[in-house]
Structure 1
């Protein structure tokens, strides 16, 4: 009788054991394909310029902006992220033959697409990525000296590293660093003040430091 009862209990235990193993496999293999993050981002240019005729350099202000990103996971480790945001910067030509020149301000719209590798295991999930950026310059204000300032849209590369910290299965905190290698050709119409139009090759190369919250679905 004891053997029969023991055999019955073993038979009962087998399906539960198999289900538990299946659940563990599902937890390991399953992942959320989509996630979104909302960050506050410090945009800190690492600027320099080569200015025709009058020489000098450039100073571009730091800004703080909101940023939205959308990430799609091809596997639990490999993902693509589209980063969306817009930023406004004050621009000044410095140490030129005509002194420091206030060149007003300009808005940048720099959508950036990166391919990422996400490390798995535990609540801390670091990642690294690289990708491409296309920056659109718009809303330029020429300031009190120039008659007009024009910036060429440009393509650049981006590097990225970050860390997600899980609060639960859906919500997480995020820290993110991006370096965008961004240059533009600027044309300053300074006919009224200097009697000339001045061209400049400008490297902006901003560092983006972001802190935010994300949601998986």
Structure 2
């Protein structure tokens, strides 16, 4: 009986020790990544038109590549919460209705404030994850596009909006020092209202689907 108990205890210890060694509860992980921001920007609806826009007018926001920092806290071994720090800049150009590339909004700078809850899977040497959470798109500046200024436009405004993000990726540890590589993809579902003013008069108002992809790759450090 003592022999059986000893063998059982040894087996439990062998099974439990790897889990304890890899327990991440309370860990913080910092990621520094290069991120491709790939928005849509198409017009969903024209709500104000005082200038006679073409019926087939549509737009697109240009892509951008930015540095991004992610900060992640593990509340359990497999569950974490992550937020991101970064700012991206875009122009909004026409794709139809006017000559392609006609600039309607210039140098629109956006902070895509995001918090996601993530679930991590153990898959041998790599750790894939999925996540989801709310986002708030905060436009910190925007300017009238070059094509709108001759029409008398003096100001442009893009509305701040709440949205939602889905996320998937993989962490690839390098040794036991806490360093690693990471790949991450986020898809946002969020709109914005664009307004063009001539003085104090609203002359154009359009609803746009932004719905960007954020595709990232970089390095991580867990401690």
Alpha-carbon separation, structure 1, partners of 2:75 and 2:19: 15
Residue in structure 2 matching 1:212, options 196, 200, 218: 218
Q: Which residue of 1 aligns with 2:125?
A: 123
Structure 2: give runs of 5+ residues left out of the alignment.
none
Deviations 1:75-108 (A, max 9, x none): 1111111112110001124434799443222000
State how many pairs are aligned: 200
Secondary structure of the residue aligned to 2:18 is helix
Q: How does 1:61-210 map to 2 (within 5 A)?
A: 61-96=62-97, 100-144=102-146, 145=149, 146-169=153-176, 170-190=178-198, 197-210=203-216
1:34 aligns with 2:25: no
Length-normalised TM-score, structure 1: 0.82
Q: Which has the larger radius of gyration?
A: 1
Structure 1: give runs of 5+ residues left out of the alignment.
1-9
Length-normalised TM-score, structure 2: 0.80
RMSD value, Cα: 2.6
Show structure 1 runs of 4+ deviating over 4 A: 20-24
CA contact (8 A) 1:86 1:107 kept: yes
CA contact (8 A) 2:105 2:142 kept: no
CA contact (8 A) 2:171 2:183 kept: yes
